[in-house]
A and B are shown apart, each in its own frame.
Chain A
Amino acid sequence: MATITVPVKRKFNFKKSFLPYLYLLPAFIVLGVITFYPLIYQVIISFTDFQTKDLLLGLNSPKLNQIGFQNYIDIITGGLPVQNFDFFRVLTYNIWWALTNVMLHVPAGILIAVLLNVNGIWFKKIYRAIYVLPVVIPPIVVATIWRNIFDEQYGAMNQSLTFFSQLFGNVDPIKIRWLFEYQPPIPWLLPNGPLPLAYYAMMIANFWLGWPFMVLVATGALQSIPKELYEAASIDGASKGFQFWNITVPLIRPAMIPAAVYGFTLSFNLFNFVFFMTGGGPARSTEILVTFAYDLVRNLRLYGAAGAFSVIIFFVALTIFLITNRITKATESYTES
């Protein structure tokens, strides 16, 4: 960025070099007190056994013990006094959860965008207005609604299934325990972290929430593809499928990769949705890193361990950022070449 070329005399140079810091001062004072200081404080308490008894005096508490890396070791080896907790299972599940979400949302978004982009479709504007609704409704509300839809007794999902099964002569009402059944329906899928029925219920709910954003992105990218490319391809006798894979897909890739990366990061840290749908249950099997960190502070009150866990989360987030950033950069150069 170019500096403002203010025609000033030499004597103002000190003031000029001082000015940007003055503009930054308010933000950095505030950030210093409520962001950077807490971040450092978090690292300090992560090496202690900070608990409820230390709340009053904080780091000055005489009962506070410096325990070195014990919190980190406990987290990694499952030594925390917490039931059903295995760090690597949670991490695997968390990555799997984010990946499977994106792998469903992105292709669905592209397909529906392509469908809506066909010339001369009736009611196109109405469909567009309806399909954007899931983006508009706050995710916490969406999660609560789906939480009730998957209710075992009175939920709409079981009622719909009952309705359809009755068409086939089945009389008994269906009572699937969507959110509480622990037995994984497909045991061989992700052996490290068995996927309970609640995982599939959440996938359905989050799919409802997630695909319209991908349609928005894909539609924008589709509109920027020159129509001439398709015309030339049709003249050469290329089939629609060939055109899709060889024109559409490569040309919307630069827009879809960052969107997929964004979707992955969003799903990876999807606290509100998971907390409102299952709260991590049953038996912590749908817990992701952020919901477990929250549980450590709010319910278990192991503040030292929570600090250590948040430091670990930071490094996981950093790793994911570095990887995804590299993927995005790689695709950028791909389009330029």
Chain B
Amino acid sequence: MTTVTQEPKRKNFLVRFFTMDTSGSKGGSEKLPLWRQLGIQLICLMITIGVMFPIMYIITLSFSSKSTRPSSLELFPKEISLVAYQQVLDRPTANPVTFLELLKNSALLSILVGLAALLIAVSAAYAFSRFKFKLRQILMLMVFIPLLMPAVGLVTPLFLLMNSLQVKTCADGAMIIQPFTACDPGTAAKLLFNLRDSLIGVGIAMISTALPFAVWNLKGYLDTIPHELEEAAAIDGADPNQVFFRIVIPLAAPQMAVTFFLGFIGHWQEFVLPWLFLTQPGDYTLAMTLYNMTGQYANSIPWNRFAAMAIIVALPVAIVYILLQKQIVNGLTAGGVKG
């Protein structure tokens, strides 16, 4: 179970990292000798250079107006040109797809999948956390098994099953839904909709891994909420449904936000399923576009455009991380029962 419960811990570290007391006032009265201070500063500076190297490289590239590939190393922008950004926003790929369509596909997928998984997961997490029932252990194991499987391990059956659900028009004009109905054998049929080749299909497939994660994450959090409020409400005559909707959901709201944003960070980068499922350029996501602009697959794409695209794809996740931090701090301090 460790592999699973590590994920929620991660953001706690992030918050603690930023909010912790770094002044060293905890009884550290001895002063640091200057030579040591300088030595450590030198090491820290070298690490900083290492960390900043790819970041500065990509920022410099993105602000360059040169559409040729870089012939020499530049780590500081000589010019601030937004040409590359403008070109990427105008026409991100060779396909007739606008940037807004790509953005809409990525945003819809990551937001709706996260929301759907969350809404379905919260009641299950409540049941696992608060009720004692016969099949509890077995059902919890069933939710855990998909988490063991790497995401790629489920793509084959999802691909095949979704691909078998197709809407077609037959030669005689009747509309059929495979595999439930079929045209007369031997007649031609026109494909109208293939669940596999659609954003809906990709979204449904993404929920299959997002849902178990959301259940575990929320259950782990609900386990840490004290039961006093619920017990008090129960004594006042609230039934379990009222307790769930009036008390547990408001208490779990901060963690639900965190779960949603953690999901968003993952779904925004989702590549495995869309790259396998989707064939129409109009359905492509930003992650797929970025892949198309990289390396040997992109001999004609100027690197300044690639750099601009990389920064555009990275920004929402970076912003969400910063937002996430605030959410967790609130989530930690805004508990209903202190102590």
Q: Pick the interface stretch among B88-96, B153-161, B252-260, B326-334.
A: B153-161
Assembly CA distance A20 to B124 (angstroms): 8
Decide yes or no whether A106 CB sits under 8 A from chain B: no
Decide yes or no whether A239 CB sits under 8 A from chain B: no
- CB–CB A137/B314 < 8 A: yes
State whether A163 and B73 are in contact (beta carbons under 8 Å apart), knowing that A131-B51, A303-B160 are contacts in the complex. Answer: yes
- CB–CB B239/A148 < 8 A: no
Chain B CB within 10 A, most for which of A125, A148, A307: A148
Decide yes or no whether B263 CB sits under 8 A from chain A: no
Q: Mark B120-156, 1 if CB is under 8 A from A, else 0.
A: 1101101111111101100100110110111111111
- CB–CB B243/A27 < 8 A: no
Of B71, B152, B161, B223, the contact of A37 (CB 8 Å cutoff): B161
Of A122, A160, A228, A313, the contact of B150 (CB 8 Å cutoff): A313
- CB–CB A138/B265 < 8 A: yes
- CB–CB A31/B70 < 8 A: no
Chain A CB within 10 A, most for which of B129, B150, B154, B211: B150
- CB–CB B156/A42 < 8 A: yes
- CB–CB B269/A24 < 8 A: no
Of A145, A217, A321, the contact of B3 (CB 8 Å cutoff): A321
Q: Pick the interface stretch among A80-88, A188-196, A261-269.
A: A261-269
Assembly CA distance A5 to B234 (angstroms): 7
- CB–CB B317/A138 < 8 A: yes
Residues of A within 8 A of B243 (CB): 4
Decide yes or no whether B287 CB sits under 8 A from chain A: yes
Contacting B at CB under 8 A, from A12-31, are: 16-17, 19-21, 23-24, 26-28, 30-31
Residues of B within 8 A of A146 (CB): 54
**Closest chain A residue, CB of each to CB of B314:** A141
Residues of B within 8 A of A156 (CB): 53-54, 57, 70, 73
Assembly CA distance A148 to B306 (angstroms): 10
State whether A227 and B124 are in contact (beta carbons under 8 Å apart), knowing that A35-B208, A132-B14, A261-B3 are contacts in the complex. Answer: no
Of A1, A4, A37, A265, the contact of B234 (CB 8 Å cutoff): A4
Assembly CA distance A297 to B71 (angstroms): 39
State whether A208 and B231 are in contact (beta carbons under 8 Å apart), knowing that A128-B17, A132-B17 are contacts in the complex. Answer: no
**Closest chain B residue, CB of each to CB of A108:** B47
Q: Can you report 8 A-B residue pairs in the complex whose CB atoms are below 8 A from each other?
A: A21-B127, A24-B123, A37-B161, A38-B208, A127-B48, A128-B22, A141-B314, A147-B294
Interchain residue pairs A-B with the least CB separation, the first 4: A119-B24, A27-B124, A38-B157, A20-B131
- Given A27-B121, A276-B291, 11 other A-B contacts at CB below 8 A? A3-B130, A6-B240, A137-B318, A138-B317, A140-B287, A141-B310, A142-B54, A144-B291, A145-B54, A310-B154, A313-B149
Q: A interface vs B, CB < 8 Å?
A: 1-7, 16-17, 19-21, 23-24, 26-28, 30-31, 34-39, 41-42, 45, 50, 55-56, 58, 112, 115-116, 118-125, 127-142, 144-149, 151, 153-154, 156, 159-160, 163, 179, 208, 212-213, 216-217, 219-220, 223, 227-228, 231, 258-259, 261-262, 265, 269, 271-272, 275-276, 289-291, 293-294, 296-298, 303, 306-307, 310, 313-314, 317-318, 321, 324-325, 328
